């Protein structure tokens, strides 16, 4: 396709910035603060997507690499005894080492790369109205300006306003019955890096070069409800108190009532195909948000960006590019969403570790194929 096509990307997070890097001839709208969050990890083919985007070395040097024999996915009981080891992950000749990185650091890297490529990023700006046609899109911005583009990419997350604009009757995200609390614990590395569980929930951790230990945790919460800061602290503290493993005792010493804990309900959505209408298309969490049970949500967004740019490059028309993109992506992200939701269900039913590891291993094997 003609390389001079222009695009507007709505959303300046992982999906938005990675698509901007892949497309280059675009502008990005981000209404909030894209640097919020804790840590994110990229493994499997998602690490190769970092290579395709030209940022793997930058991310690898700024983050925490995970060797292929890493025990981060090992599950231990409250005392630290090993219950099960994570599934073996398939590899391939050009496989890259997995890496975890502080999300604000990752956003900074992508933002700098995008700007260096000539991408215009408008922070604090969103759209008021989208006129979507077979020949392009005209967008009324929150600044009052009106601009036209050849196509629009909705990359504005699970609560996507773009999704509601393009598909007004689309379903809302579904609650999984679980809650996540994440904590960037200040201080040196703690060993062994692993997952630990008690009757109250589970948590895991790994060290980041920014001087923090990233600690995500998962709790069953049948009914979705908003918790106060005090309730979040007590829930998380009680989980730490329910474990006697030395590593957890070390982390407990770093927790204080004013610690910055990020609590989020696990929600998901898998929009039916196609994810586009006329010249507007959805990618990332706007189209297929997932729970964190596979740790692949951000990775799927990176793959989306690479594949979308490839389809735009190779197809003769935008419509054919969008069609090819959805055909390449739908079954792959469906595997991630459905497996993650089923893993959440199995956890809530207290299923045997072997059943969960079998499901997870089968999904990783399917995702080892090229995107």
Q: What is the pLDDT of residue 68?
A: 64
Q: What is the pLDDT of residue 70?
A: 65
> Which stretches within the chain are classed as H helix?
14-23, 45-52, 56-62, 103-116, 161-166, 229-241, 246-252, 285-288, 297-314, 318-348, 353-367
pLDDT of residue 141 exceeding 60, the answer is yes
pLDDT of residue 71 exceeding 70, the answer is no
d(CA 166, CA 298): 23
pLDDT of residue 145 exceeding 90, the answer is yes
pTM above threshold 0.85 = yes
Question: What are the CB-based long-range contacts (under 8 Å, 24+) for 9-12?
Answer: 9/152, 9/153, 9/155, 10/126, 10/127, 10/152, 10/153, 10/154, 10/155, 10/156, 10/161, 10/162, 11/154, 11/155, 11/156, 11/157, 11/160, 11/162, 11/284, 11/286, 12/107, 12/111, 12/121, 12/123
Q: Give the β-pairing of 26-30 and 120-123.
A: parallel
Sorted by sequence, the CB contacts under 8 Å of residue 310 that are 6+ apart come out as none
With tokens 């045997």, the residue in question is: 352
d(CA 61, CA 316): 38
Helix pair 103-116, 14-23: axis angle to 10 deg: 20
In degrees, to the nearest 5, what angle opens at C-alpha 240 toward C-alphas 238 and 243? 110
> Using one digit for the tens of pLDDT, what is the confidence trace for 249-259?
999 999 999 99
The whole-number average pLDDT for the span 86-105 is 90
The whole-number average pLDDT for the span 237-251 is 98
pLDDT of residue 175 exceeding 80, the answer is yes
Continuous segment of H or E residues that includes residue 213: strand 212-220
> Using one digit for the tens of pLDDT, what is the confidence trace for 105-125?
999 999 999 999 999 999 999
* Domains defined for the chain, CATH in brackets: 7-74+88-171+268-367 (3.50.50.60), 175-267 (3.30.9.30)
d(CA 163, CA 154): 7
d(CA 44, CA 51): 12
The whole-number average pLDDT for the span 47-67 is 96
What band does 351 get if pLDDT is binned at 50, 70 and 90?
Answer: very high
What band does 89 get if pLDDT is binned at 50, 70 and 90?
Answer: confident
């Amino acid at each position: 396709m003609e390389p001079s096509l222009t695009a507007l990307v709505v959303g300046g997070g992982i999906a938005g910035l990675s698509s901007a890097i892949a497309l280059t001839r675009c502008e990005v709208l981000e209404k909030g603060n894209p640097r919020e969050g804790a840590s994110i990890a990229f493994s499997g083919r998602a690490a190769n997507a970092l290579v395709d985007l030209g940022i793997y070395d930058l991310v690898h040097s700024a983050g925490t690499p995970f060797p292929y024999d890493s025990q981060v996915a090992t599950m231990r009981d409250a005392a630290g005894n090993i219950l099960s080891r994570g599934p073996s992950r398939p590899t391939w000749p050009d496989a890259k080492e997995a890496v975890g990185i502080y999300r604000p650091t990752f956003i900074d890297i992508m933002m700098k790369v995008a700007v260096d490529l000539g991408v215009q990023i408008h922070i604090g700006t969103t759209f008021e109205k989208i006129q979507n046609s077979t020949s392009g899109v005209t967008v009324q911005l929150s600044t009052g300006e009106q601009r036209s583009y050849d196509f629009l990419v909705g990359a504005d997350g699970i609560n996507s306003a773009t999704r509601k604009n393009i598909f007004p009757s689309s379903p809302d995200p579904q609650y999984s019955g679980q809650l996540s609390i994440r904590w960037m614990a200040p201080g040196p590395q703690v060993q062994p890096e692993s997952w630990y569980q008690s009757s109250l929930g589970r948590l895991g951790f790994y060290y980041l070069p920014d001087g923090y230990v990233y600690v995500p945790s998962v709790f069953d919460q049948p009914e979705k409800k908003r918790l106060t800061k005090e309730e979040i602290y007590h829930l998380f503290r009680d989980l730490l108190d329910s474990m006697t493993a030395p590593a957890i005792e070390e982390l407990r010493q770093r927790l204080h009532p004013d610690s910055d804990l990020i609590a989020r309900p696990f929600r998901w959505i898998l929009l039916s195909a196609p994810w586009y209408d006329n010249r507007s298309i959805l990618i990332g969490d706007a189209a297929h948000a997932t729970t964190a049970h596979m740790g692949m949500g951000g990775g799927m967004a990176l793959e989306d960006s690479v594949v979308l740019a490839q389809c735009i490059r190779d197809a003769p028309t935008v419509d054919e590019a969008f069609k090819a993109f959805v055909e390449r992506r739908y079954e792959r992200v469906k595997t991630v969403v459905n497996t993650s939701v089923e893993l959440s269900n199995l956890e809530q039913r207290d299923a045997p570790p072997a059943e969960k590891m079998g499901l997870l291993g089968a999904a990783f094997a399917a995702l080892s194929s090229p995107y």
